[in-house]
Structure 1
Amino acid sequence: MNHLIALDWGTSSFRAYLLDAAGSIVETRSRPWGIRQLPDGGFGGAFAAMVAGWPDCPVIAAGMVGSRNGWQEVPYLDIPAGVDELAAALVPVAAPGGRVVHLVPGLHNSRGPDVMRGEETQLVGALALRPPPQGEATVVLPGTHSKWVRVKEGVVTDFVTTMTGELFALLSRHSILAVEIKPDAPLDVDAFSRGVRTARASGAAGGVSRLFSTRALMLDGTLDASSVPDYLSGLLIGEEIRSTLADGRMDCTLPLRLVGDAALGARYRMAASDFSLTVSPAVEDTAAHGLWLIARRAHLHERTIHGVSP
């Protein structure tokens, strides 16, 4: 396989990578063409425009492109599952120019129930780039829908989703707690830590029961309006950690690994320290490596050469 085109195609964004035979990134392209913001021509048109001029080579894609509202729905795989199971379950979709896009399935957890789509590929890349010393770890993927994942020898054995990022967006923009958020404002560490400690101290009631404290602290002058977003962020992340520890499904005595945006990961590391947890620095941009590994395990180069689709 001289080259591979790897697509990370989500709800709001579309990123494409041209990889060489060793899995190194030759070129990256990005467009705001998530599955809800497609250009003229739909999925096929977006794909053709994104890969124009790139070699005729195998193509693999992960993310919401394989969801019910995506290019073609790809059934979830039940866990336990790892890279071998993902590679064996790729679904081919015909694309413009005679190409075939191989869609990666998401994962389903009957305990919950719970699902993930896209994060499984980030996990594959992250675990290969930084293997857990003992082969077992708890991995945290912060984001709109944060995931806590148990992995053993590269296999996902359990996971839990918390809607922390989406709750923050809704509360900070569309509730009585909404204030103007300045994108480049530095983190108010004191306000953030206060929010984390409030969630930690909420006990059986939970951090959600303390949400209105955000407004009360602002009204009595204890919390400046500009610090409200960081207090609320700390409260919600703190509640995510508190509830996960209380639930007991994630073994937090294992090495805790962060995968995703470094800035958001820094908040999680700060919050975790208030719970006496140690979390590794975040590993970023692992989707491309994960896609390359899945493609290699699926022998896409051989299937393309012999004209065989999975």
Structure 2
Amino acid sequence: MSSTRPLIAIDWGTSSLRGARLGASGQVLESREFPRGILTVPPGQFESVFQELFGDWMQAPGALCLISGMAGSRQGWQETPYCPCPAGFAELGQHLLWLQPGRIALVPGLSCLGADALNTPDVMRGEEVQIFGALQMSDRDSATLVLPGTHSKWVQVQGGRVTQFQTFMTGEVFALMSQHSILGKTMDLQGAFDEAIFLQGVDQSQQSGSVLHHLFAVRTLGLFERLSAAQLPSYLSGLLIGEELRHQTASAHPEPVILMGSEALTLRYTLALQHLRIPCQSRGAEATWAGLFALASAC
């Protein structure tokens, strides 16, 4: 991409839509955010919504727009086939789906095959640009990255290419357990986050035994008033995040793990990782813009 060509970077997720107008060195000149995730857009209306919210930015001469996230999913603007791993900027660039040639493109997301007997496939959409952006910001080409969220991702990058990743349904299981199961009947979800109780849950997750048994104990600890209703969500959160981290060891991560996500979630993962003596560092939402800028520069 020419350094003078304006870049419009878009992150179009399931529940929200973010955009940034970037300058010649990747700096954010202007940003916008709307509650217009893909689930709010009727079929066939993606182009009109895009024009309504970002059409003025696209009037700039030579403007290029890269759109990452769920806009490339089956429920989005147009389904974009996943780019298989190992993959870096070059492979992502080759798999862009151009909605308007040379002007507007969807970033494809990544897929990989697991090392289990079934070679189980795994996928991501949107996180790939955060990953490459964080590497650019950290000046690293190899790292372990963790992207907490509804579906948390653990990602391995070697030589600037994503080689493998795994998805954990940690956030979704927390929501299901706390809102739609018997556990939710005894907990107060409005209670303040309790760091000490959270770490108790992390410690318990590292003990032998099934996580299914540990989950039922969330109920009995409340029934026997060992934990208050306000403390139970913190304990459940620690139990589930700890289960996700259970197979991660400090020796496997000599360099700090890179965390990317909301402030509240990265705080919890930072606490859990440090408690388990796994070094880590955090990157914010700006990693998305850095990743899309670097991808555009490589196109």
| TM-score between the two structures when normalised by the length of structure 2 | 0.89
Q: Which amino acid aligns with 1:80?
A: P
Which of 8, 11, 17 is the aligned partner of 2:11?
A: 8
Alignment of 1:204-243 (within 5 A): 205-243=209-247
Return the alpha-carbon distance in structure 2 between the equivalents of residues 281 and 34 of structure 1: 25
Return the alpha-carbon distance in structure 2 between the equivalents of residues 125 and 110 of structure 1: 23
Return the alpha-carbon distance in structure 2 between the equivalents of residues 119 and 9 of structure 1: 11
Percent identity over the alignment is 42
Cα distance change, pair 266–282 in 1 and its aligned pair in 2 (3 A): farther
Query: Does the CA-based 8 Å contact 1:79-1:157 persist in structure 2?
Result: yes
Matching residue of 1:131: 139
Q: Which amino acid aligns with 1:36?
A: L
Does residue 47 in structure 1 map to residue 50 in structure 2?
A: yes
Does residue 141 in structure 1 map to residue 141 in structure 2?
A: no
Shift of 1:92: 0.8
Which of 77, 87, 91 is the aligned partner of 1:81?
A: 87
Shift of 1:261: 1.9
Q: Mean alpha-carbon deviation: is it higher for 64-73 or for 282-291?
A: 282-291
Return the alpha-carbon distance in structure 1 between the equivalents of residues 122 and 248 of structure 2: 15
Helix, strand or coil at the partner of 1:267: helix
Shift of 1:287: 0.7
Cα distance change, pair 264–49 in 1 and its aligned pair in 2 (3 A): same
Does residue 106 in structure 1 map to residue 109 in structure 2?
A: yes
Matching residue of 1:90: 96
1:82-121 CA deviation, whole Å, 9 max, x = no partner? 1111112111114xxx994201111111123211111101
1:156-211 CA deviation, whole Å, 9 max, x = no partner? 111111010111111111111113422xx53211210111111011x2x3433310
Alignment of 1:238-257 (within 5 A): 238-244=242-248, 251-257=252-258
Helix, strand or coil at the partner of 1:226: coil
Matching residue of 1:60: 66
Structure 1 runs of 4+ aligned residues shifted over 6 Å read none
Helix, strand or coil at the partner of 1:144: coil
Query: Does the CA-based 8 Å contact 1:193-1:231 persist in structure 2?
Result: yes
Helix, strand or coil at the partner of 1:62: strand
Which of 119, 130, 136 is the aligned partner of 1:122?
A: 130
Which 5+ residue runs of structure 2 have no aligned equivalent? 115-119
Q: Which amino acid aligns with 1:225?
A: A
Helix, strand or coil at the partner of 2:171: helix
Q: Which amino acid aligns with 2:254?
A: T
Query: Does the CA-based 8 Å contact 2:205-2:240 persist in structure 1?
Result: yes
Cα distance change, pair 142–22 in 1 and its aligned pair in 2 (3 A): same
Query: Does the CA-based 8 Å contact 2:192-2:230 persist in structure 1?
Result: no
Which 5+ residue runs of structure 1 have no aligned equivalent? 299-310
Matching residue of 1:301: none
Shift of 1:41: 6.7
Matching residue of 1:305: none
Alignment of 1:139-178 (within 5 A): 139-178=145-184
Return the alpha-carbon distance in structure 2 between the equivalents of residues 12 and 99 of structure 1: 28
Alignment of 1:288-299 (within 5 A): 288-298=289-299
The number of residue pairs the alignment matches comes to 286
1:251-293 CA deviation, whole Å, 9 max, x = no partner? 3334311122232111111111232212123444311111111
Query: Does the CA-based 8 Å contact 2:188-2:232 persist in structure 1?
Result: no
Matching residue of 1:303: none
Which of 202, 206, 211 is the aligned partner of 1:200?
A: 206
Q: Which amino acid aligns with 1:123?
A: I
Helix, strand or coil at the partner of 1:212: helix
Matching residue of 1:307: none
Query: Does the CA-based 8 Å contact 2:64-2:104 persist in structure 1?
Result: yes
CA RMSD of aligned residues (A): 2.1
Return the alpha-carbon distance in structure 2 between the equivalents of residues 22 and 92 of structure 1: 24
Helix, strand or coil at the partner of 1:128: helix
Query: Does the CA-based 8 Å contact 1:262-1:284 persist in structure 2?
Result: no
Query: Does the CA-based 8 Å contact 1:9-1:62 persist in structure 2?
Result: yes
Helix, strand or coil at the partner of 2:183: coil
Return the alpha-carbon distance in structure 1 between the equivalents of residues 248 and 130 of structure 2: 21
Return the alpha-carbon distance in structure 2 between the equivalents of residues 90 and 241 of structure 1: 33
1:128-167 CA deviation, whole Å, 9 max, x = no partner? 00123xx421111111111111111211111111010111
Matching residue of 2:192: 186
